[in-house]
Amino acid sequence: MKKQEKARLQPTQKSETWSMRGIEPETRTAVTIAARKAGQTVGEWCNRALRDAATERLKERVPGPTMEETLAKLAESMARQTEAAQQQNAAIVARLEAMEQREPESGRNGGGNLLGRLYGLFWRKNGWGG
């Protein structure tokens, strides 16, 4: 961090003068009256008012979803994905069963049915069997 940046982050000394540009005349008048009523100088009143406003602003949390809301959305999403996967699996099983119904079983180890053939293909492809 540069020296100038560090200086900006450090609290200012009490004796330092601090000025603000762009303050409207109506605001200046209102601040002057409020400071008099509080029995403070304009600087004292502004110091308290600005500190209070800044502290309150820094305490504010950016509204966002609560943990419970986030977990509920996650659970809903997982449930939808699980249901979709189960439907896909059921459709695949139904198709395989329908294909097996059309294929006559023949040979040992069910070599004629689709699952048996897939099993044999897997074993041969990996060099584990005949």
Is this model's pTM higher than 0.85 or not? no
Quick one: pLDDT at residue 72? 93
What does the alpha-carbon distance between residue 78 and residue 111 come to, in Å, rounded to a whole number?
39
Quick one: pLDDT at residue 128? 64
Q: Residue 21 phi/psi, 5° resolution?
A: -95, 155
Under DSSP, the state recorded for 112 is: T
| Tens digit of each residue's pLDDT (9 = 90 or more) over 79-109 | 999 999 999 988 888 888 887 777 655 544 4
For the cut 80, the answer to whether the pLDDT of residue 76 exceeds it is yes
For the record, the structure tokens of 22 come out as 């762009």
User: Which whole number is the average pLDDT over 68-86?
Assistant: 93
Find how far residue 99's CA is from the centre of its chain. 45
Residue with the larger pLDDT of the pair 82 and 7: 82
Cβ pair 31, 46 in contact under 8 A: yes
